[in-house]
Amino acid sequence: MASRARPLNLPATALAALLLALVAAPLAAVALRGAGLSFGSADWAAVRFTLLQATLSALLSTLLAIPVARALARRRFPGRGALIVLMGAPFLLPAVVAVLGLLAIFGRTGLLNAGLQTLGLPAISIYGLQGVLLAHVFLNLPLAVRMILQGWLTIPAERIRLAQSLGFGPAEISHHLERPMLREVLPGVALVILIICLTSFAVVLTLGGGPRATTIELAIYQAVRFDFDLSRAAGLAGLQVAICAVAALAAWAIVRPAAFGAGLDRATALPAPGGWRCGADALALSAATLFLLLPLLAVVLRGLPGLTDLPASVLPAAGRSILVALASATLATVAALTLALAAAARPSALVEGAATLPLATSGLVLGTGLFLIVQPFTPPMTVALPVTILVNTALTLPYLYRILLPETRALQVDYGRLADSLSMSGWPRLRWLVLPRLARPIGFGAGVAAALSMGDLGVITLFAGERQATLPLVVQQLTGAYRIEAAASAALILVTLSFALFWACDAGGRRAAA
């Protein structure tokens, strides 16, 4: 019976090889062009700032998320579910929109500086290291909260009940239950945020604040777009990949198990202590909510008046962004489903590698390699949109693969042998078994891919001219030209389209599964 599932592996193997080539070819081009390059003082300054801002961003986001996640884990209140959903929204929020919101609150003419001016106090600057850290915490704090909250929810109910029966107070529960869990969870949380911040581009491009606040990604962009020094860009791209690989290996080595053992999956909430701890939990939740909502609200309020007088470049760029998002999401969903079905039927190192390798790189690194490949044959701007679609497909595929893999494994266990016994394969198997059973995760994954592609500001900055610019690039250009009102209106359209695409795909999957 197992042999009847083999035809599904042939396209998966070919697809995996194609994906590996899509990632490996640009990396090889980068390695060959950057071989033997000697870095200057400005390059090493970019390396130091990259490591500094990523490390501080990961530490701040992780540490600030602990009290918020603890409060969500042990408190029950109206709106708790909505707040947890809000914690997932910034993952889909385009970085350029987040930056605009933060500028509206913390910028030179923002609410904070207006209040300081009223009190006769000096204004603060959001540009430089402090602005980069603020934006990264805004974008990554919710992700850290969700990951740490999941750690609290995995503490076995039997341990909580035992602690209650022994009369443990908050200090003892923290020592015996919470701290072991945090020792297990926090390194992984910090790793994820560290790698995200190592490859951050849009935030540093807008808030970097000059040569002293330049990351490797920004240096690559400057080397290609302004200096046209492709060898230097390639060398920096190779260095970026090496740093990300070292960070991943180092974090993997320090992860420690909590050693709780298995529970019986019984849901039991942590005790909710009163007194000052109740006030501290309320303060943590209130501060996190305001920190996340105020910039988004500022973008809406600042962007609404300008919707009737948009720059001419906004609507065509929005159309191109929708095209890129839909094409990338479609390709990534088909590829992820093909690989996940093959891995569920027969685990393969080739399939796993193809679905994981893109995590070791970034859009700008892949874009640099592809720029090197196409530049001798055709003007890069002529292939700007196809290259952007391919890179977005590669970078979103790992997320979709991880979303679909557990579901495809369960489908194989529950129905695989029955489908094989009925000789159900190919399109009938896909039409009558796979798509109906996996409609919900497919819709959710496609929505994530579409939203991430819609808001991406990476490879398009290397390739695009005025006629190829996507909406995130237009928002960034308007912000750089200090046309903040127009940028806010364009950003409002961008975030609306991003969440609309996510909602449409997710809702479509849920309806198909009903």
Q: Are 344 and 405 in contact (CB under 8 A)?
A: yes
Mean pLDDT of all residues in 228-243 = 85
Same domain, 408 and 293: no
Same domain, 56 and 67: yes
CA-wise closest residue to 498 among 299, 364, 335, 302: 299
- Asked whether the predicted pLDDT for residue 125 surpasses 80, the reply is yes
pLDDT per residue as tens digits for the range 399-444: 888 888 888 888 877 777 777 777 777 777 777 777 888 888 888 8
Same domain, 238 and 196: yes
Q: 249, 281, 306 — which closes off a domain?
A: 306
Give the burial class of 76: count Cβ atoms within 10 A of its Cβ; 0-12 exposed, 13-18 middle, 19 or more buried: exposed
Q: 306, 324, 345 — which closes off a domain?
A: 306
d(CA 480, CA 134) in angstroms, rounded, equals: 19
pLDDT class of 267 with cuts at 50, 70, 90: very low
Dihedral over alpha carbons 98, 212, 198, 136 (to 10 degrees): -30
d(CA 114, CA 122) in angstroms, rounded, equals: 10
- Asked whether the predicted pLDDT for residue 277 surpasses 90, the reply is no
Same domain, 175 and 272: yes
Angle at 365 between CA 364 and CA 371, to 5 degrees: 85
Instruction: Please count the structural domains in the chain.
Output: 2
Mean pLDDT, the chain, integer: 82
Sign of CA dihedral 103, 213, 121, 283: positive
pLDDT, residue 280, reads 85
Question: How far lies 476's CA from each of 25, 175, 406, 458, in Å?
Answer: 29, 47, 38, 11
CA-wise closest residue to 340 among 436, 405, 402, 437: 405
- Asked whether the predicted pLDDT for residue 12 surpasses 50, the reply is yes
pLDDT, residue 269, reads 57
- Asked whether the predicted pLDDT for residue 166 surpasses 60, the reply is no
The range of the structural domain enclosing residue 321 comes to: 1-29+309-514
Q: Can you list the alpha helix ranges (DSSP code H) found in 255-275? A: none
pLDDT, residue 112, reads 86
Same domain, 442 and 335: yes
Mean pLDDT of all residues in 480-508 = 88
Same domain, 22 and 42: no
Mean pLDDT of all residues in 380-407 = 88
d(CA 276, CA 273) in angstroms, rounded, equals: 9
pTM of the predicted model, to two decimals? 0.81
Same domain, 165 and 229: yes
Same domain, 230 and 349: no
pLDDT, residue 437, reads 81
pLDDT per residue as tens digits for the range 442-476: 888 899 899 989 988 888 888 887 788 899 999 98
Q: How many CB atoms lie within 10 A of CB 170?
A: 16
d(CA 95, CA 138) in angstroms, rounded, equals: 10
pLDDT class of 6 with cuts at 50, 70, 90: very low
CATH of the domain at 58: 1.10.3720.10
- Each residue of 9-20: b (16+ CB within 10 Å) or e? beebbebbeebb
Residue type, 249: L
